[in-house]
Amino acid sequence: MLELRILVDNIDYDSIAEYLIPVVAEKLRREDKGGILGSVVPALTGRVLGALRMFCSARFLTVGPGLKSGIRLRLDNPAQLGAELLCGAVAALEEGPGPLAVISADTAISIMAVNGKQELVGGVILPGPQLSLSALVQKTAQLPQIDLSAPASSSILGKNTSACLQNGFVLGTAGLLDGLAERFQAELGPDIRFYATGNLPRTIREACRTPIEYREYLITDGLYRIWQKNRKG
């Protein structure tokens, strides 16, 4: 059995068409297996699927309405849910039942919750620290770029501009996540578990008072689980 997991971020369609699609299609053709696509860029979804189908006849699924995930979506418009959030929730539930919350960090931080009935019941979206830092540096004259993978100083009282920024972004983002976690706990119960995936820096995760389990491949694990639930043959 072929298990091919590819997580693509910040790559344009021409690069996908030139490098990625032929490789994926060739592997699927050799193994006579289907595939599944989880896309958060709707403008590219159809183009990528069309290109894949030009290279091979394998059956391709797309994460979205109509596929079985094992989770009931208690949302106003389930079609608006990002594929990565559903995949993350599916994978997290493999480790144990809800309540749980998945923190997916990229350009934005999205936190989506699953209750004890295994229903995805909603969450929050906010700017990611990298985006916020980039905007702050671009819009100010004297604030330097900092490395969010570096820890905050031992004291909250930064003694220079860089230290103040480091404390603000590392400890501030951690405090923000802790505050949101308290609200999730108040609504879904104190036993709720938190999982994180994506590019949320370790320094921020470790500065949180809330226990957060980091899973690098949470999204692709969930994508594979959804494919298993829906494949034929």
pLDDT at 4 over 50: no
- pLDDT confidence of residue 227: 87
Torsions phi, psi of 190, nearest 5? -70, -15
Please tell me the CATH code under which domain 72-223 is placed: 3.30.420.40
> How many CB atoms within 10 Å of residue 40?
14
Mean pLDDT, rounded, for 193-214: 96
pLDDT band at 228 (very low <50, low <70, confident <90, very high): confident
pLDDT, tens digit, for every residue of 30-71?
Answer: 655 667 677 666 666 667 667 666 666 667 777 877 889 999
pTM (2 d.p.): 0.81
Mean pLDDT, rounded, for 147-173: 95
CA angle 151, 155, 157 (to 5 degrees): 110
Torsions phi, psi of 73, nearest 5? -95, 110
Beta pairing partners, 104:
110, 197
pLDDT at 161 over 60: yes
pLDDT at 2 over 50: no
Spatial CA neighbour of 200 closest among 216, 219, 221, 181: 216
Spatial CA neighbour of 34 closest among 229, 222, 217: 229
